[in-house]
Amino acid sequence: MNRFGDMDLSEFRKKMIGLNSGGNGFGESVYIKRLSMQREKRFLISSVITYALKTGTRIQLSQQQIVDCSPNNGCSGGFFGATFRYIKQSGGLAYETSYPYVGTQQSCSLESVEIGSIQGYGTTPNGNEEEMKRALSTYGPLAVGVYVTSDFQFYGPSQRAGTSDIIDIASCPKTIDHAIAIVGYGTENGQDYWLVRNSWGTDWGLNGYFKIARNKDSMCGIATYGYYTQV
């Protein structure tokens, strides 16, 4: 049981998801930056976007700048495309230390852009997990969405011999409503999976990460699109 165990599913979904949908293996070398606790759903987009901006070093980019300054619904969820467009047009992001997270939307107070500029961004074709794998290998972490079920709420390391840590849900809906970042892939006991960074803190899942079935008809909508950046 994790810290979400005392919530019913509707309460959990209301509090912890907030994506507006619109249009190598675990332990191998992947780009990892600090995994902070997602306070509530309204900052989910900024958490995933700053993670997906691979810079080659472990730095902390400003999530608050995205919440305050990008024209992307502020505290009411958001769209990946609109946020990436803002980052490209603004020339990048400030460091987290220069524009720190405060937990609420405020007026934009950006003084200077310091790092995190991108030349462009793109998306993988709907439902094409082979192209997602190629984009991940070429560009780095992919910003994607999934539909959250109770399997996510109670996810954690398998405690029973012979059971899997891979989320594989029969007839999982594909209407995405939660933003995540794919950081790797692998195969476990013959089953392909994506390794995914979540935003619910390191005390959830596999130290803040989870595995979900890959090449399984876009499990929970994960292959709806994959946003990548060109730096």
Which residues are within 8 A (CB) of 110 and not within 5 positions of it... i.e. 6 or more apart? Answer: 65, 68, 69, 90, 94, 99
List, run by run, the mean pLDDT of 10-residue segments along the chain (231 residues).
69 62 37 37 50 60 86 65 87 88 86 81 96 92 92 77 81 92 91 91 89 97 93 78
On whether residue 166 sits in a domain, the answer given is yes
Residue 12: what pLDDT? 62
Confirm whether 1 is domain-assigned: no
At 36 the pLDDT is 41
Please give the Cα distance from 1 to 156 (Å, whole number): 8
**Does residue 2 belong to any structural domain of this protein?**
no
Q: Which positions ≥6 away from 153 have C-beta within 8 Å? A: 4, 7, 9, 12
pLDDT at 220: 98
- The Cα–Cα gap between 111 and 212 comes to 40
> Residue 4 domain-assigned?
no
Does 208 map to a domain? yes
Q: Which pLDDT score is estimated for 17? A: 61
User: Distance between CA 162 and CA 37 in Å, rounded?
Assistant: 31
Q: Please name every residue paired with 178 in a beta bridge, in sequence order, or none if there are none.
A: 146
Q: Identify whether 184 is part of a domain.
A: yes
Domain count, the chain: 1
Domain of residue 209, residue span: 9-230
Structural contact between residues 160 and 176, judged by C-beta atoms closer than 8 angstroms: no
Note the pLDDT of residue 29: 30
What is the pLDDT, as a whole number, of residue 114?
A: 72
